[in-house]
Amino acid sequence: MLCESKTGYICNMEIYTGEGKKLNDSILSLLQPYLELGHHIHQDNCYNSDKREVRIISTIHDASSCKTEKTNRHTGEEIKKPVSIVQYNNCMQGVDLADQYLSTYSIHRKTIKWTKKVVLYLVNCGLFKSFRIYQVLNPESQVRYKDFLLTVATEWISSQVDKCADPEFSSPNPSDVRSTRAPQKDHP
């Protein structure tokens, strides 16, 4: 998933299937629309988790450190971090925000079929993207994500109820509908 760092807006995504593309190819296909535009890319721990040591490769930072507003609780000394780590932490907030929204009010339900899981996840991502766009277009609005989802669900349901009540959209008579099933074959 490729997210914008401030809002968490999902710019691009690819579902990992466990086979097929190599990791490098998957990452490059996500980034393809954004290459050579001067963006800084920060990658989260889905691809590079390492619990013991923190390693960072950067083409935009030197090895300088900066002060943080935190102190070591044992020694009382101010904690310093490499500038690259501080910027990484600030930029990953968008991805963390997207993950938080997608998991808190998820429409995902337990199901055996993986296809249903994928579709529900994609609908969930679409709803989150719509919410982020709504917030950008309506900066004075204080609508919470939960209320936004409730409004969308209410509108979807009421539009379906209205269609059912409209004679133009009513269900056809089953006897008037020609069967689209393959003809039955006689088996000995």
Highest mean pLDDT among 8-12, 66-70, 120-124, 184-188 belongs to 120-124
What is the residue-averaged pLDDT of the chain?
Answer: 77
Q: What is the model's pLDDT at position 86?
A: 81
Say which residue, 123 or 57, is predicted with more confidence.
Answer: 123
Which residue, 66, 62, 69, 88, is CA-closest to 5? Answer: 88
pTM for this structure?
Answer: 0.60
pLDDT at position 49, please? 46
Residue 2 bridge partners (DSSP): 12
- Which residue carries 């997210």 as its tokens? 3
d(CA 148, CA 154): 10
Q: Two tokens at 6?
A: 């401030």
**Do the beta carbons of residue 33 and residue 12 sit within 8 Å?**
yes
Give residue-wise pLDDT tens across range 22-51: 777 877 888 888 888 877 776 665 544 465
Distance CA 64, CA 27 (A): 28
